[in-house]
Amino acid sequence: MMHSGHFNALRQARKLGDILVAGVHSDDEITRAKGMPVLNNEERMALVKACKWVDEIVFDTPYNPTVELLDKLNCDFVAHGDDIGPTYAEVMEAGRLKVIKRTEGVSTTDIVGRLLLMTKDHHDHRHNSGDSPNSSSRGFHRCPSVDAIQDAGQQPFMPTTMRISQFANNKTPKDGDVVVYIDGSFDLYHPGHVRLLEMAKAMGDFLYVGLHHDSDINEIQGANYPVCTLHERALCVLSCKHVDEVVFGTPFEVSADLISLLNINIVVDSTDLKVMKNLSDEERELETKKFFAVPIEMGIFHRMDEQGQKAHSTQEVITRIVDNRLNYMKKYEKKAAAEAEYRAGYVHVAEQ
Which tops the pLDDT comparison, 3 or 343? 3
The predicted pLDDT at position 133 comes to 40
pLDDT of residue 153 exceeding 60: no
> Average pLDDT, whole number, for the chain?
85
Number of C-alpha atoms within 13 angstroms, CB side, residue 92?
Answer: 11
Strand boundaries in 163-233, DSSP class E: 179-184, 206-211
263 dihedral zone (left: phi>0; alpha: psi -120 to 50; beta): left
100 forms beta bridges with 81
Residue 246 sits at φ, ψ, to 5 deg, of -115, 140
Element (H, E) at 204: none
- Distance between CA atoms of 299 and 139, rounded to whole angstroms? 51
Q: What does the pLDDT look like over 195-204, one tens digit per residue?
A: 999 999 999 9
Q: Determine contact, residues 85/338, Cβ cutoff 8 Å.
A: yes
Strand boundaries in the chain, DSSP class E: 21-24, 56-59, 78-81, 97-100, 179-184, 206-211, 245-248, 266-268, 301-302
The predicted pLDDT at position 152 comes to 47
Q: What does the pLDDT look like over 18-58, one tens digit per residue?
A: 999 999 999 999 999 888 888 999 999 999 999 999 999 99
**Sequence-ordered list of residues with C-beta below 8 angstroms from that of 324, at least 6 positions apart, any chain:** 36
Q: What does the pLDDT look like over 289-299, one tens digit per residue?
A: 999 999 999 99
Q: What does the pLDDT look like over 51-102, one tens digit per residue?
A: 999 999 999 999 999 999 999 999 999 999 988 878 899 999 999 999 998 8
The predicted pLDDT at position 135 comes to 42
**Beta-strand pair 206-211/245-248:** parallel
Q: Determine contact, residues 247/208, Cβ cutoff 8 Å.
A: yes
